């Protein structure tokens, strides 16, 4: 059915108009000039549009209509849709605005009700339309005088903003990036993003999918669809409008750090899409992945340039994206010496100087390729000196496109360079117009090579009885009317899920505290346990490093006194072994309103909110996914060793995945905050503190 949106046998344009500048005229014009099947123009006023007779009602149309394009005033759309239903139309696009985006959610609901009643699948309202270059069909109202329509190709685009979508088509057109299909989903009242993603995943002619997202409906479904799509073709996503501050009044670290943007970031990484940060990057990546069919076999990037400064800026930009230029082996250097004048420095970037003719590029590139030391080649050509024989370079460039490795050309400047870029694109090469564009192209190629590498990987296993233990503790608390677990209870949940915790016992009075301390061995830590305290250390409710019974006794009394003064109901005093450690991490989980169970990892223990070095993923997650989370933060630096200890990433990944399991399996748990999770001198990870918040339902 969705296929009919792009490949109908017949089309009706309802609201077709002859008024210059009207959208109804623009749409009719585009459809008539692109579509080869029957097109019926409909308008209550009748008459003639673009030299064709107009039917007053859809029921007057002589043939069957596969796809109805509705571009009438919003108030008339319900009636038009009823007409569609009555004559058996199964697919419709509503272009008209004036629905939920303009405060008329009621009208939109009415339209959807009618569509559902007749079994019509509906794109929009407030859509700019669809394009299919194969059918061919241009069912948009975009003015082709003002914006380009791309040639036929392999990139499909779905946009949540119509105008931005048509701008992207315009930019693709300028860059000669070929289009397969385009859809503007408008208000997505019926047909949603995830369905179109699934359609394009199955569409063999779609080689690359590009998505512009502004909000996420049916989040888990969309992310599932994206993950499936990205196992078979590159998916590039640009997200707009999600910047938003974290909730200030949040009671746990994880809640304070959770923002829509962060959770969606994590979820999109997990779906293995290529995320870009700007419109410019989006179009650059569509160009490079739409044009370059060969994938890099490794990450050795080499730059050949005729402009030292551009080589420098490109190298900077590549490093800012977390990549590095490859070193050139000695053997290659000596080979290059026979090609490059002796006084020139040889390195990467390989600077051939402004006087370099095409023949020098050719000889250097041949050496590089035959030495098999390059996985991605970036060729900078600034045609500024007349020494640069541009025509031969364009001729040579065709060969570069077939060299067996991905090649990106960087050309920058005004008209002359722009013309050169066009010629190179006609030769099938991706052209970057700035160092930043070249580096995002390189990054996308490398990301793609990594993404297409493997399976999702294994999830962590947890003991069968873990969930039973956790549920029992949780239900006990809920029965007592509590919405938090005590620290000792929270730690018992962690222990059940095989997360290491310090040895501890709960004392109800100070004499007992001393006995426990003697049993655990000194030094010990004392902590107030109360159902009513969250940031306990802030008020002095934790005392560390107690080395003998006398100190335990006196500090214990002080804590009792403190809780009396602060009028905090006391569950008891936790007596815990002291755990020496070199770094503090935070792991958390919560149920995101939009995307459900979500896990977080962050650096800095109690400083985690200050540092905001955090990463999110949806739960459940695999160990590989958890390792990727860690890589997104500076926690990864602990893997190289810090203060004599090396973090084993898989150990932390296991902890994250286990915390994810808890929130996945125990639905009464709303938030988990394991903080600090200490990295000990022995390289172990121990949960020194834990909070669990419950949801009453």
Instruction: State the minimum distance, in angstroms, from the CB of residue 604 to a copy of itself.
Output: 7
- For residue 361, the tally of other CB atoms under 10 A from its CB is 23
What is residue 327's DSSP assignment? P
Reported as half-sphere exposure (CB side, CA atoms, 13 A), residue 218 has a value of 15
Interface pattern 145-164 for a copy of itself (x via CB under 8 A): xxxx----------xxxxxx
Single out the segment in contact with a copy of itself by CB under 8 A; choices: 131-139, 369-377, 511-519, 611-619.
Answer: 611-619
> Can you read off the two tokens belonging to residue 48?
């003639």
- State which of positions 280-299 bind a copy of itself (CB under 8 A): 280
Map residues 553-572 to x or -, x wherever contact with a copy of itself holds by CB under 8 A. Answer: -xx-----------------
**Min CB(576)–a copy of itself separation in Å:** 15
Min dist. Cβ of residue 253 to a copy of itself (A): 12
- How many CA atoms lie within 13 Å of 281's alpha carbon, on the beta-carbon side? 19
Q: Is 307 an interacting residue with respect to a copy of itself (CB under 8 A)?
A: yes
Confirm if 16 and 28 have CB atoms less than 8 A apart.
yes
Residue 257: phi and psi, rounded to 5, are -95, -10
Q: Which of residues 613-642 bind a copy of itself (CB under 8 A)?
A: 613, 634, 637-638, 642
CA neighbor of 68 nearest in space, from 118, 14, 125, 109: 14
Q: Which is nearer to a copy of itself, 380 or 493 (CB)?
A: 380
Pairing of strands 235-239, 208-213: parallel
Stretch that binds a copy of itself, among 330-338, 465-473, 494-502, 533-541 (CB under 8 A): 533-541
Q: How far is CA 105 from CA 112, 189, 281, in A?
A: 11, 10, 34
Count of other CB atoms within 10 angstroms of residue 134: 13
Q: How many CB atoms lie within 10 A of CB 185?
A: 28
Q: Does residue 263 interact with a copy of itself by CB under 8 A?
A: no
Query: Three-class SS of residue 602?
Result: strand
Applying CB under 8 A, which part among 37-45, 509-517, 590-598, 599-607 lies near a copy of itself? 599-607
C-alpha 675/C-alpha 281 separation (Å) is: 37
Q: How far is the CB of 109 from a copy of itself (least distance, A)?
A: 16
The correct pick among 36, 45, 51, 103 for binding a copy of itself (CB under 8 A) is 103
Nearer to a copy of itself, 239 or 267 (CB): 239
Contact flag: residue 549 with a copy of itself (CB under 8 A): no
**677 contributes a contact to a copy of itself by CB under 8 A:** no
| 438 vs 669 by CB, closer to a copy of itself | 438
Considering only residues 380-399, where is the footprint of a copy of itself by CB under 8 A?
Answer: 382-387
Of residues 153 and 165, the one with the C-beta less far from a copy of itself: 165
Closer of 63 and 641 to a copy of itself (Cβ): 641
Is residue 673 within the footprint of a copy of itself (CB under 8 A)?
no
To a copy of itself, the closest distance from the beta carbon of 522 in angstroms equals 9
> Would you tell me how many other CB atoms lie within 10 Å of the CB of residue 355?
12
Asked if 210 is part of the footprint of a copy of itself (rule: CB under 8 A), the reply reads no
What residues from 421 to 450 belong to the interface with a copy of itself (CB under 8 A)?
A: 434-436
Minimum CB distance to a copy of itself, residue 325 (Å):
11
Distance in Å, CB of 86 to a copy of itself, minimum: 29
> Does residue number 322 form part of the binding site for a copy of itself (CB under 8 A)?
no
| Pair of tokens at residue 372 | 């098999």
Pick out residues in 476-515 that bind a copy of itself (CB under 8 A).
Answer: none
Q: Do the Cβ atoms of 326 and 350 come closer than 8 Å?
A: no
Q: Which of 85, 129, 234, 604 binds a copy of itself (CB under 8 A)?
A: 604
Give the C-alpha separation, 357 to 372, whole Å: 23
474 in Cβ contact with 483 (< 8 Å):
no
Question: According to CB under 8 A, which one of 594, 607, 639, 650 is a site residue for a copy of itself?
Answer: 607
Phi, psi of 253 (to 5 degrees): -60, -45
Q: What is the DSSP string of 626-649?
A: HHHHHHTSGGGGGGG-BTTB---H
- Residue 101, number of CB atoms within 10 A of its CB: 13
Antiparallel, parallel or unpaired: β 129-132 and 179-184: antiparallel
Residue 51, classed as helix, strand or coil, is coil
Q: How far is the CB of 206 from a copy of itself (least distance, A)?
A: 22
């Amino acid at each position: 059915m969705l296929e009919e949106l792009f490949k109908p046998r017949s089309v009706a344009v309802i609201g077709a108009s002859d008024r210059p500048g009207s959208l109804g005229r623009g749409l009719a014009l585009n459809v008539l000039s692109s579509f080869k099947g029957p097109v019926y123009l409909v308008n209550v006023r009748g008459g003639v549009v673009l030299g064709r007779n107009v039917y007053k009602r859809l029921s007057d149309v002589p043939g069957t209509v596969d796809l109805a394009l509705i571009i009438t005033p919003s108030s008339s759309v319900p009636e038009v849709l009823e007409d569609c239903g009555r004559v058996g139309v199964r697919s419709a696009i509503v272009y008209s605005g004036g629905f939920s985006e303009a405060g008329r959610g009621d009208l939109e609901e009415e339209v959807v009700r009618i569509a559902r009643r007749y079994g019509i699948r509906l794109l929009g309202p407030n859509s700019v339309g669809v394009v299919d270059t194969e059918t061919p069909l241009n069912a948009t109202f975009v003015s082709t005088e003002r914006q380009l329509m791309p040639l036929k190709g392999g990139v499909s685009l779905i946009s949540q903003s119509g105008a931005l979508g048509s701008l992207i088509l315009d930019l693709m057109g300028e860059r000669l990036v070929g289009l397969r299909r385009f859809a503007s989903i408008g208000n997505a009242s019926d047909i949603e993003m995830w369905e179109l993603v699934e359609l394009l995943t199955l569409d063999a002619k779609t080689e690359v999918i590009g998505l512009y997202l502004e909000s996420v409906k049916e989040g888990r479904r969309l992310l599932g669809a994206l993950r499936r799509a990205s196992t078979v073709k590159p998916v590039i996503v640009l997200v707009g409008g999600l910047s938003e501050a974290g909730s200030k009044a949040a009671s746990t670290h994880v809640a304070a750090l959770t923002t829509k943007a962060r959770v969606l970031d994590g979820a999109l990484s997990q779906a293995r899409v290529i995320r870009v940060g700007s419109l410019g990057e989006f179009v650059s990546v569509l160009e490079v992945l739409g044009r370059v069919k060969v994938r890099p076999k490794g990450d050795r990037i080499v730059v050949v340039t005729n402009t030292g400064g551009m080589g420098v800026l490109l190298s900077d930009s590549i490093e800012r994206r977390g990549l590095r230029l490859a070193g050139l082996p000695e053997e290659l250097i000596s080979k290059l010496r026979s090609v490059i004048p002796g006084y020139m420095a040889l390195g990467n970037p390989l600077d051939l100087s402004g006087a370099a003719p095409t023949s020098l590029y050719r000889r250097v590139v041949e050496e590089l390729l035959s030495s098999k030391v390059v996985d991605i080649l970036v060729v900078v050509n600034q045609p500024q000196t007349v020494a640069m024989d541009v025509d031969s370079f364009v001729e040579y460039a065709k060969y570069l496109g077939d060299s067996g490795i991905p090649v990106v050309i960087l050309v920058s400047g005004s008209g002359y360079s722009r013309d050169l870029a066009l010629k190179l694109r006609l030769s099938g090469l991706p052209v970057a117009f700035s160092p930043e564009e070249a580096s995002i192209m390189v990054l996308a190629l490398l990301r793609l090579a990594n993404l297409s590498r493997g399976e999702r990987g294994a999830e962590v296993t947890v003991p069968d009885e873990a969930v039973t233990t956790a549920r029992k503790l949780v239900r006990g608390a809920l029965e007592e009317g509590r919405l938090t677990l005590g620290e000792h209870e929270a730690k018992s949940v962690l222990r059940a899920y095989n997360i290491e915790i310090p040895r501890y016992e709960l004392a109800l009075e100070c004499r007992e505290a001393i006995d426990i301390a003697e049993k655990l061995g000194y030094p010990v830590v004392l902590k107030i346990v109360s159902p009513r305290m969250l940031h306990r250390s802030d008020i002095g409710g934790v005392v560390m490093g107690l080395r003998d019974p006398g100190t335990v006794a006196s500090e214990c009394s002080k804590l009792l006194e403190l809780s009396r003064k602060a009028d905090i109901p006391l569950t008891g005093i936790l007596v815990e072994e002291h755990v020496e450690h070199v770094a503090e991490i935070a792991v958390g989980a919560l149920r995101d309103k939009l995307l459900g169970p979500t896990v977080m990892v962050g650096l800095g223990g109690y400083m985690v909110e200050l540092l905001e070095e955090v990463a999110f993923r949806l739960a459940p997650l695999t160990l590989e996914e958890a390792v990727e989370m860690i890589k997104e933060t500076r926690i990864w630096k602990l893997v190289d060793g810090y203060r004599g200890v090396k973090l084993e990433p898989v150990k932390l990944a296991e902890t994250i995945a286990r915390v994810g399991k808890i929130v996945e399996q125990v639905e009464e748990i709303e938030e988990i905050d394991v903080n600090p999770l200490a990295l000990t001198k022995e390289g172990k990870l121990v949960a020194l503190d834990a909070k669990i918040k419950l949801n009453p339902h």
